[in-house]
Structure 1
């Protein structure tokens, strides 16, 4: 990676009290394959669990998304230990509803406030990057995810059905 690319990537790093969020690079593929292949994590996500090949394709898409948009999905690490906790950031929803905040962390992270901390930092970055409206979608039965979204200030805007599930659409206007 060139010095200019390293500098650009560094400017997109977000740190919080406990987390470091870094735009993904090819070096993150092994962690992303494990995360996206885990039913406990990606069973909740749009399109579900990913194969290793699909995770690699999505990594390329995420890298390109950052280059084109100036925002995207981060790999989330615990400061200090450097442990990979999951992902958090933005994607363009394929259903045309808009730019969506998403997060997926290891089940071992649940109940520790990491998702809330990463989502709050992502939302702030997105609004600073010029996003006027950011949405997030959660299944009605995913109480934990709904709690994160409301705790970071997102409001319920609408609902729809997807693959038999009632989906709640939250939004934040910056």
Structure 2
């Protein structure tokens, strides 16, 4: 189920609430994006508080321009902040990518899969024909999430000495 917040939409899944980012999420995002165990694998690595604020402002603007973006992910039952998931244009020009970054204690509970599936469904529903996902070859957990969401491997590239695996999800015909 999705709900419109201005031009931004929230999503509710069985266990999660995905809310478009707002300034009220900044303290949680600063902690998340500074954590090496969470953002060490992400493109450009961990973030400073200043960079996190800039990215949040960019995320809010991105929603207004594109009609999709990154959500802050919360556990519906408790309201606990779990991380982020969503859709963003990759800066390397490869296309729109699904992304997710949740606290390490969330691993193994299916939250990343649930959030990534919701993001993919939303993206295809708003007209995105192809959505990619990128993970380091050694990041087996992220690769499993992408595969379990129905994405298929479609390529690879090297980034800073790491083999990156590209997955894709194509909109249903």
TM class by shorter-chain length? over 0.9
1:80 positional shift: 1.5
Say if 2:28 and 2:81, in contact at 8 Å, map to a contact too: yes
2:107 counterpart residue number: 110
1:9-59: per-residue Cα shift (whole Å, max 9, x none)?
A: 486110000000000000000000000000000001000000000000000
What is the match of residue 38 of structure 1? Answer: 35
CA RMSD between the two structures: 1.3
Gaps of 5+ in 2: none
State whether residues 9 and 23 of structure 1, in contact with CA within 8 Å, keep that contact through their aligned partners in structure 2. Answer: no
Count of matched residue pairs? 169
User: Could you say if the C-alpha distance between residues 10 and 98 of structure 1 is closer, same or farther in structure 2, counting changes exceeding 3 Å?
Assistant: closer
Task: Answer whether contact 2:11 2:118 (CA < 8 A) is retained.
Answer: yes
Unaligned runs of 5+ in 1: 1-5
**Structure number with higher strand proportion:** 2
Within a 5 Å distance, the mapping from 1:35-114 to structure 2 comes to 35-114=32-111
Segments ≥4 residues shifted beyond 2 Å: 6-11
When normalised by structure 2's length, the TM-score is 0.95
2:155 corresponds to: 158
- Residues 97 and 131 of structure 2 are in contact (CA less than 8 Å); yes or no, is this contact kept in structure 1? yes
1:130 aligned residue: 127
Give 1 or 2: higher helix fraction: 1
Q: Distance in 2 between matches of 1:134 and 1:102?
A: 10
Among residues 19, 36, 43, which one is paired with 1:22 in the alignment? Answer: 19
1:92, 1:99 within 8 Å by CA — same for their partners in 2? yes
